[in-house]
Every structure is written in C-alpha cells, then in structure tokens.
Amino acid sequence: MTFSVKALPAALAATVLMGCQPDTPPPEPADAIWYNGPVITINDDQPEAQAVAVRDGSIVAVGEKDDILRYQGDATVLHDLDGHTLLPGFVDAHGHVSFVGFQAMSANLLPPPDGGVTDVASLVKTLTTFADDSALNQQFGMIYGFGYDDSQLAEQRHPTRAELDQVSEDKPVLVIHQSGHFGVLNGAALAKAGITADSPNPPGGVIGKDPESGELNGLLEENAFFMALGKLFPQMDPKQAVGMLKQGESLYTRYGYTTIQDGRSSPKYVKLGMGAAQAGVLKADIVSYPDILNDGVEALMVPPFYHNVDSQPQYHNHFRIGGIKLTLDGSPQGKTAWLSEPYYKPPHGKGKDYAGYGVVDDDKVVEVYTQALENGWQTLTHANGDRAIDQMIMAWEKAEAAVPDVDVRPVLIHGQTLRQDQIPPLKALGIIPSLFPMHTFYWGDWHRDSVLGPERAENISPTGWVREAGMRFTTHHDAPIVLPNAMRVLDATVNRTTCSGQVLGEAQRVDVMTALKAMTLWPAWQHFEEDSKGSIEVGKLADFVVLSDNPLTVDKSALIDLQVLETIKEGESIYQRDDAAAFNPPPALGLAPALASHRHDHDHTGADGCFSPALEVIFHAINEGN
C-alpha cells in the first residue's frame, strides 16, 4: 500500500514535510502572514514559496503555506494574496527623488506615452495652460516645465527663447529637457539668471547663441544649465519643501519601490531629506548621494545620517547618506555624452568629428576617487559615453594604486556606450555597472538612426556582455528622466523593444529572473544592504511588492502590463492600487495645486499644527543655502 503526503490532513502533511511530531509546540505568533499566491523570493537556495510570516517588520518564516500558518496567533493579520504574486520590494539603483518632487510641480512636457507634447506648439500650449491654472507657480513668480525631448518633437530641435516668450514675457519661464542635462529659458529667466550675450561658457557647459547674431537662443547645456537652475529654483517654505519630497516618494511607491535613491543631491536637498526624517514623515527608505563638486558636502558625511563602508549602513527615520556622486559627461540622446568615436549625425552647428565632451579634468577625477578611498565613501559616477568610462577606469586605477585594499563598491551610473573591452577592467576594479536599458524603449530608434548608428546602438546598456563576464549589474530608470516605472525597467531589460516595436540588441537581452535580481537583490548589494533587503529570506526586512501576475510565468511580451497592486515597507502597506483606477496609467504630472495643499496638511506637523522647532531650524539652514 502506498500513500501520498498530499492525501494526508493538512496539519499532518505539514508535520511529515517538516520531519516533526504532531505535538511540536507552535512558534511565537507572527504579526502578519502573506499567503495564497506565488512568492518569488530572489533567494537561489529557496527560489519560490507559498507564504511568508512577519514579526516586528522582519521576516521570520518563508515556506509552504501550511508550515507558515503555524505562526498564526489570535492577533496575526492574514493577507490573502488571492493568487497575486509577492516579491521583494524594488530597490532603486539610481534615481533622483527630490527632483521627481520638482517634476510634480512642473508642467508635464513629456512625449507619449507619459505625456502629450509632440511639437513646439503643444509645448507652448501646455505651458500656457499650466501657468494659468497653477497657483503655486504664480506664487513663486516662475513657470516651470519638465520633460520635453527634442528628439521626439516634430521639429527635432529645442524650443527657443522667443517661443518661450510667447508663454510669458514678464515671468521667467524655464523648461527642462527630459535628460535633465539641458534647459531652455525665456528672456525674463535669462535676465534673472544673470546670463547675457557677453557671458562666457562655464567650464563643462555651453550657453547657446545664434551663430550669426551672437544673441542668446535660450538653450543652456550641462554646467551652464545647472548653474542657472540653482538661481531659478523656487524658494519654498518648510511645508512646501517636505511636500515636494513626499510627492516624489509617493510616485516611487506606486511603482513598488521600498528603497529610493536621491542620486545627485545638493547639500540643500540632503538637508531636506534630513529634515523630513527628523519630522518622521518618510515611509520608504531614501539613500542620498550628494554631488561631491558642491561646496559643503564633506560636512554632511558624519553620523547619524552617514556611515562609511566599514560600518553597517543605518537609516535614521528612513533616510541616510550613502556616499558621493560625480558626473563626468552628459546625455547621449542630447548628444553631449563623451564618446571615443564621433556621433553618427552630429548636432546642428557641430562638425563631423564632434564626439561630445567631458566636464571634469583628469586630475580632479583622480583626486575625488583618492579622497573617497581615504574616507571610505562609496562613489557613484555618471559616465554615459565610452570616453568618459575610459576616464573613470583610468582614475580608479590611479586612486587604488595610491590607496590600496579599500572596497567602496564604486558604481558606474548609466554606461550607455560601455564597450566590451572595458568590462574586464571594470570587473578587476570591482566597479558595479548600473545600466539604463529603458533607453532601448524611449530612445532606441533615435540612438540607432541619429546618435550612434545601427552597430553601436545595438549594444547600449550591454547587460548581456556584463553577465557573460560573470558580473552582477543593476538597472535603473533615472527618474525623473523617465517615470520610475518598475515594469518598464523589467520589460526593457528582458525584451529591449523600441517605441517602433523593433528589438535593439538581441544579444544583450537577459532572462526574467536575472532582470528581477537587477531590481532587487543586486541593487541592495550595490547599497551595502544585501543583509537586510533584496530577497525574501528569514531575518531580512519585510519589504514587499504585490504584482497582478507572476513575471516568471507570463509571456515576456506581457511584462509591461503587470501592475503593482500594493507596496509594503517593513510589514506596513505604504501604497495600495485603487481598484477603480484606469489600467496602468501614467500618473498625472503637474501636481502643483496638490502640492500647495501641503501648506494645510497637518500630517507633517506637531500637535499644535506647526512644524517642530528642530525642523524649522533645519529648513532655515536649507533656505539660507548653508
């Protein structure tokens, strides 16, 4: 006579499977149990499970449903997944949450599918309508727009100062390119920024001028744009500043992120994160990397918000400083990334040998990396062009020769044009490639037809090459450059399909599990947090995301249609999808009226409806620029 374990009563079956006696005492009850749906653990030793038990914000058991239900007590909350899929919460390998908040208070100039701007006329119309409807922009006396893309405008050029003057001649108008590396200003904004036709180009930047008349055309590139933005950025009161950051956090959590990055913070916005943490208003973890080339950064690299690589990273009320950021070049789609070979089609006014440019000289890069090793600072380096990556490799080799045997897990951010011959030195130096496969969707056709040409475009964000070399990599969205849509990241990494439906780089595709690791466990490792995040394992934080279906079993073409139903941070729900919401819509941007309402939101205040004195002091320092 034979029998099956499945035929036994559930309790006895669990006992047989566990190798225990039926009278084994139950474990200490859990606070909550998730069950009745597939659990993708991202743990190679136990890839899938049926249920998870959580106590005090951490995972205490993972396994078969009947085993985990033994952790049920009188007060245990049962979460029925109803067949939906549980995964670790997504870990943001690179983004800019504080700037996402700024995007929320700007006119939405993104092209489809995330916006509706398709030509200069619709850009001007969107700005004009937004300026009329936005009380917050009227309050600041500025009109902001974010996300235009010259490569996707019908005219395939940047708007001009004269066209923005159509929106307003009196109020400054500033529109920011989708790459974040360019801006166009109207006459009033140029005047407010102190830029005239006689202004010289700053190092690593270009002030756009008409080649015949020498008059300003409104376009600012790289450091010229960043300097102007600093002068034109709105001066907010404490509640508005926290409201801006919370808008960014909210956008991330709706896409399943439980750990968020602020990947190029000014000292002012590091202090904003500190202030929000002191006020206790953050729900997700935010890790900040201040720009090392800004004055005052070193003074921030002290506890309680910063711990160097020799100590366990600790968040203080969901905020910490992870290290520093250095930017070496610009944007490939904007044709300012620093390449070793010329652009396939040079931008207007440039010669056939134009290959972009770097923004930091070699000696300074070596100095920064050496300082990072001496102080135990992790370093994120923005390098899109392969020539910028050459500079990064050269400088790390020199820095490590001067300060050997210090592992700060340096990160290459973007690496769009990473060459195959550059991968071995990255591996030898321990540099983590954090790649940007979403470019295949948003700009893949543009890269093939204009930026890089067919051959080089095939290998942008070369995840396949990196895996062939046995390296871990991470993937990101670089929000607000694009929306922090985790399913778009997953789809682009697996399928690499352009807007026109063509596959760009068949050899660089990876499987779904590899792509999921690049969004969970590997970015947790990138952040030195692999012991507490990135997989569903006993002892790790109960950071989860619930998806509408199982990404390992759906057709690969359907990955983009998966929906985030819920985001859970340390066992607490921080986002739930409204059942009445439209199917997977992009959130409305241009949220200035909603942001203005934070002036009356007592969730961010003390019992008397006012900010705490400590927070007022912090934000006084922020607004003073200290």
What is the reported pLDDT for 10? 35
Judged against a pLDDT cut of 50, whether residue 475 lies above it is answered with: yes
State the pTM of this model. Answer: 0.84
> Does residue 593 have a cis bond before it (omega within 30 degrees)?
no
Contact 29, 74 (CB under 8 A): yes
Q: What angle do CA 90, 92, 95 make, to 5 degrees?
A: 150
pLDDT in tens, 187-196: 999 999 999 9
Predicted local confidence at residue 400, as pLDDT: 98
Once rounded to an integer, what is the mean pLDDT over residues 174-182?
84
Angle between the 613-624 and 238-253 helix axes, to the nearest 10 degrees?
Answer: 90
Please compute the mean of the pLDDT values over residues 599-604 and round it to a whole number. Answer: 32
Domain assignment present for residue 351? The answer is yes
In a domain, 610, yes or no: no
Q: Lowest-pLDDT range, 234-243, 310-319, 524-533? A: 234-243
d(CA 109, CA 284): 28
Residue 65 has pLDDT above 70, yes or no: yes
Going through 256-314 in order, the beta strands assigned E by DSSP cover: 257-265, 285-290
pLDDT band at 144 (very low <50, low <70, confident <90, very high): confident
What is the DSSP secondary structure assignment for residue 300, as one 8-state letter? G
Q: Is residue 494 part of a domain?
A: yes
Tell which of 232, 262, 288 closes a domain.
Answer: 232
- pLDDT, mean of residues 525-547: 98
Tokens representing 530 are 């692999």
pLDDT (average), residues 510-518: 98
- State both tokens at 611: 């900010």
Q: Label residue 582 by pLDDT band (50, 70, 90).
A: very low
- Bridge partners of 413, per DSSP, are 382, 434
Evaluate whether residue 168 is within a structural domain: yes
Q: Is 141 left (phi over 0), alpha (psi -120 to 50) or beta?
A: left
Is residue 146 predicted with pLDDT exceeding 90? no
- The CB density around residue 552, as the number of other CB atoms within 10 Å, is 15
Judge whether 214 lies within some domain.
yes
Co-location of 209 and 262 in the same domain? no
Q: What integer is the mean pLDDT of 586-604?
A: 37
Residue 455 has pLDDT above 60, yes or no: yes
pLDDT at 136: 58
**Position 275 pLDDT exceeds 50:** yes
Instruction: Give the pLDDT mean for 102-115.
Output: 82
Closest residue by Cα to residue 525 from 428, 392, 432: 432
Q: Are 257 and 486 in contact (CB under 8 A)?
A: yes
Bin 166: left if φ > 0, else alpha if -120 < ψ < 50, else beta. alpha
In a shared domain, residues 172 and 255: no
**CA separation for the pair 188, 200 (Å, rounded):** 19
In which residue are the tokens 């010289």 written? 200
Q: Is the pLDDT of residue 15 over 90?
A: no
Q: Which residue from 126, 181, 177 is spatially nearest to 150, judged by alpha carbons? A: 177
Q: What is the mean pLDDT of the chain?
A: 87
Same domain, 66 and 157: no
Q: Where does a domain end: 212, 232, 252?
A: 232
Q: How many domains does the chain have?
A: 3
Q: What is the structure's pLDDT at 234?
A: 77
Mean pLDDT calculated for residue range 335-356? 95
Note whether 279 and 119 are within 8 A (CB): no
- Give the pLDDT of residue 4: 25
Is 92 part of any domain? no
Mean pLDDT of the 484-500 span: 96
Looking at residue 135, its pLDDT comes to 57
> Quick check: 543 and 527 in contact, CB under 8 A?
no
Q: Do residue 257 and residue 199 come from a single domain?
A: no
> Is residue 437 domain-shared with residue 555, that is, in the same domain?
yes
Where a domain ends, among 200, 232, 264? 232
pLDDT at 508: 98
* Phi–psi pair at 311, nearest 5 degrees: -130, 160
473 shares a domain with 500: yes
Angle formed by the axes of helices 238-253 and 97-104, to 10°? 100
For 128, the domain range is: 106-232
Mean pLDDT of the region 498-507: 95
pLDDT, residue 432, reads: 98
**Cα–Cα nearest to 64, from 81, 27, 39:** 39
Question: Among 534, 533, 537, 535, which Cα is nearest to 61's?
Answer: 537
Is the domain of 18 the same as that of 52?
yes
Q: In this structure, what CATH number is given to the domain that contains residue 246?
A: 3.20.20.140
pLDDT at 21 over 50: no
Confidence of residue 534 (pLDDT cuts 50, 70, 90): very high
Torsion of the alpha carbons at 217, 221, 226 and 227, rounded to the nearest 10:
-60
- Tokens 């700053």 sit on residue: 202
Instruction: Say yes or no: 536 and 390 in one domain.
Output: yes
Same domain? 261 vs 140: no
pLDDT of residue 203: 87
Q: How far is CA 37 from the centre of its chain?
A: 29
Pair 51, 154 in one domain: no
Q: Both 486 and 548 in a single domain?
A: yes
Does 378 reside within a domain? yes
Task: Tell me the mean pLDDT in the region 168-185.
Answer: 88
Mean predicted confidence (pLDDT) in 83-106: 91
Q: Based on the domain organization, do 113 and 148 belong to the same domain?
A: yes
Structural domain contains residue 474: yes
The amino acid occupying position 165 is: D
123-143 confidence digits (pLDDT tens): 999 999 888 766 556 677 888
* 19's tokens: 């190798």
Which CATH number goes with the domain that contains 42?
A: 2.30.40.10
